[in-house]
Amino acid sequence: MKMTKVLVPTVCPYCGAGCGFYVAAEREKAIGIEYMLDHPVSQGALCAKGNAALEILYHPDRLTSPLKRRGEGWARISWQEALDLVAKGLGQARKKHGPRSLAFLSSSKCSNEDNYLMQKLARLLGSPHIDNCARLCHAPSVVGLNKTLGAAGMTNPIPDIASSRCIFIIGSNLAENHPVISRWVHRAKDRGATVIVADPRATPTSWMADVFLQLEPGTDVALLNGMAHVIINEGMINREYIAQKTKGFEALSRAVKDFTPQRTAEITGIAPEDIVRAARAYATSPASAILYSMGITQHSTGTDNVQSISNLALICGQMGRPGTGVMPLRGQNNVQGACDMGALAEFYPGYKKADDPNTIRYFREAWNAPDLPPGPGLTATEMIEAAGAGEIKAMYIMGEDPANSDPCSEHARRSLESLDFLVVQDIFMTATAQLADVVLPGAVWAEKEGSFTNTERRVQWSHKAIEPPGEARSDRGIICDVARSLGLQFDYPDAASVLAEINRTVPQYAGILRERLEGSSLVWPCPTVDHPGTPILHRSGFNLAEGRASLIPVPFSPAAEAASRNHPFILTTGRVAVHHNAGSMTRRSPSLISREPDLFVEMNREDAAALDVEDGDEVRVATARGETAAYARLTDRLKKGVVFMPFHFPGTNILTTDAIDPEARIPEFKVCACNVFRRD
């Protein structure tokens, strides 16, 4: 009998673009991918990672049963034993040391429903310590955009980029890291748009630039203040918009007064005339957009960087119209949604402040919970510090790998080892899972259903295509089982039932009903069931006092570390086209790992020659935190004194500094002092 092939619509599990495709399933097995030609963002396109997404489904490393630690190894156990162990480990820590001795890490790779349940579990157990890996990528966007614009999201939809007349890309190599989004930039350029790119590296993104600003790492605020100076000094501001829609202009004007093109050039290393050229192009365009990513946020001044971007857009009135706006490009498929769902130390769902008594009252009633913890709780990096200090006794980590992805990662490993109890829920035995007492096998995106929110706030429903392997279960199902084992009422038979509660508790999602997502998508805020969604934010004003955006003066502060005699180079980190985050999925994908199999360090050719290092040589890269081996890749992409390493391999974050942004609490991954040595 001929078997029927079924096409199941899903959302790509990698970056925040939210590309859609169909999983072709036959006999309950995924046999291929088919393109979704009518998808509003990807329009049938996928990047290398998306095209290889199925390669991890049947990987031999998949976790297929619960495991408990036995000596130096592992023993397979039943789900009942696993749940009993988890309830005992979390329960004993809570009883002996109080609920604030528990910490929970949610996942930007899991659905909205999974993240909503994880933060609810933490708070019903009395712990305010819930966070997700947005803390390591876009926490400054959440903090900075909420302060300046009143909403922590991309202001305009991705296809809107094509209608921009000037596109300013800063701190983002989107041609490699968000290639489907890059296609919309090319469309704008084909229509005559000017493209400005600011980056310490010359990347494939810079190849499309009309103006390339190769700035020194960590000098973004100086550049943005310098551009604002030119725009104000030359009278290119939008006076009417400033008067009607903003507050704080006079203070901002005073703050940027000294950032002349000459002074800005001295700080950034960019020629004064290029700073002026970029400022004029951005300010005089009828529709200018700013796109940024972790090159802006992963700094000890990350919040300052984001606020400076908002300042530039607001003084030019480049907001609330097609082709304009501020667009943070998220790195994971649901980092936006995880934040929306309240998997953050400082916010309950819907960005309700955790330290606001009204928030606590609201969720006490919504959840019928007499006692909820006020926040803010500990952030992801603070949890690790508190574990090392003995203040956090037990952790529940879902889909995250801090032993690889945290800065100064050897310290993170030691801190996790010091916990009394650690439970990890994941699809592979990651470096963090190897430190756990109990490991719970989760399902990947194609093996479960749920909603995901991409970088432009677009909410999509991803359908279940196949069954998880062995005894692996959906993350929703596991969280509900854990909650019930701890005596909580978590009766959610499917993801749709969780979304129904989200509709009731998160105002931005009130109208995003399960049935409305069938074959379609909606962009929040969507406050009612008949609302069409809001692709463009801030058309009529801002969700701040008096409906006005805030212009916030931002002084320039240098990075936490500078080059020195013992560490004469500045190391900056980032992504490459075929890998994703800590690499737990892409380094197990045969077609991807074959294209980029090893950790490398990019070096300027003159720097390498001075060290007698040739292309392909194995070298040691050392910082004050430790050292790692890598292969030298000589290039003209970097200025002298700067080196680059991708963070997808375990060795990179051994090197990075634990300096953090004082507001968003994000580590400074993008600037640390290092040295490079030949390995003889």
User: Residues 425-463: pLDDT tens digits?
Assistant: 999 999 999 999 999 999 999 999 999 999 999 999 999
pLDDT value, residue 634 = 97
State whether residue 166 is helix, strand or coil: strand
Output the CA–CA distances (angstroms, integers) from residue 359 to 284, 353, 490, 526, in the order listed.
Answer: 43, 6, 21, 20
The string of pLDDT tens digits covering residues 125-157 is 999 999 998 887 788 998 999 999 999 889 999
pLDDT interval class at 408 (50, 70, 90): confident
Query: Quick one: average pLDDT of 604-611?
Result: 96
Phi, psi angles (nearest 5°) of residue 104 = -130, 130
Interatomic CA distance for residues 146 and 40, integer angstroms: 27
Of 126-140, 220-234, 354-368, 413-427, which gets the smallest average pLDDT?
Answer: 126-140
Question: Beta-strand (E) ranges in 45-111?
Answer: 67-70, 73-76, 102-105
Cβ within 8 Å of residue 497, ≥6 positions away: none
**CA angle, corner 88, sides to 87 and 90, nearest 5?**
65
Please state whether beta strands 347-348 and 352-353 pair in parallel, antiparallel, or not at all (unpaired).
antiparallel
Question: Beta-strand (E) ranges in 60-99?
Answer: 67-70, 73-76
Tokens of 675: 């040295």
This model's pTM is above 0.85: yes
The string of pLDDT tens digits covering residues 569-607 is 999 999 999 998 888 899 999 999 999 999 999 999 999
**Mean pLDDT for the chain?**
95
Query: Quick one: average pLDDT of 529-540?
Result: 96
Q: Which helix (H) or strand (E) holds 193?
A: none
Cβ within 8 Å of residue 533, ≥6 positions away: 511, 512, 522, 523, 524, 525, 526
Interatomic CA distance for residues 488 and 630, integer angstroms: 48
pLDDT value, residue 556 = 96
pLDDT value, residue 3 = 67
Cβ within 8 Å of residue 14, ≥6 positions away: 47, 49, 50, 53, 332, 333, 580, 585
The string of pLDDT tens digits covering residues 68-102 is 999 889 999 999 999 999 999 999 999 999 999 99
Length of the chain: 680
Interatomic CA distance for residues 118 and 106, integer angstroms: 6
Residue type, 663: E
